[in-house]
Structure 1
Amino acid sequence: MKSAKPFLMFQGGVAEEAMNFYTSLIDDAEITSIVRYGANEGGDEGKVMQATFSIKGQEFMCIDSNIKHEFDFTPSFSIFITCDTEEETDHLYEKLLEGGHPLMPIDNYGFSKKFGWVNDRYGISWQINLP
Structure 2
Amino acid sequence: MLVQPYLFFNGRCEEALNFYREKLGAEVLFQTHFRDAPPDSGHTPAPGTEDKIMHCTFRIGTTELMGSDGNCEPGADKPGGFSLSLTADDKASGEKLFNALADGGNVMMPWQPTFWTEGFGMLVDRFGIMWMVTIPHDKGYKS
* TM-score (structure 1 length as normaliser): 0.85
Q: What is the one-letter code of the residue matched to 1:73?
A: P
Match of 2:33 in 1: 36
**Matched residue count:** 127
Match of 1:83 in 2: 88
Q: SS in structure 2 opposite 1:94?
A: helix
Q: SS in structure 2 opposite 1:87?
A: helix
Match of 1:19 in 2: 17
Counterparts of residues 1-131 of structure 1 (less than 5 Å): 3-11=2-10, 13-27=11-25, 29-38=26-35, 41-43=44-46, 44-68=49-73, 70-74=76-80, 76-131=81-136
After TM superposition, give the deviation of residue 58 of structure 1 in Å.
1.5
Unaligned runs of 5+ in 1: none
**Structure 1: distance between partners of 2:130 and 2:18:** 17
After TM superposition, give the deviation of residue 38 of structure 1 in Å.
1.5
Match of 2:139 in 1: none
Q: What is the one-letter code of the residue matched to 1:16?
A: E
Superposed CA RMSD in Å reads 2.0
After TM superposition, give the deviation of residue 129 of structure 1 in Å.
0.5
After TM superposition, give the deviation of residue 82 of structure 1 in Å.
1.1
Q: SS in structure 2 opposite 1:32?
A: strand
**Structure 2: distance between partners of 1:65 and 1:130:** 32
Q: SS in structure 2 opposite 1:21?
A: helix
After TM superposition, give the deviation of residue 26 of structure 1 in Å.
2.4
Unaligned runs of 5+ in 2: 37-42, 137-143
Q: What is the one-letter code of the residue matched to 1:84?
A: D
**Structure 2: distance between partners of 1:57 and 1:50:** 20
**Structure 1: distance between partners of 2:104 and 2:9:** 16
Larger Rg: 2
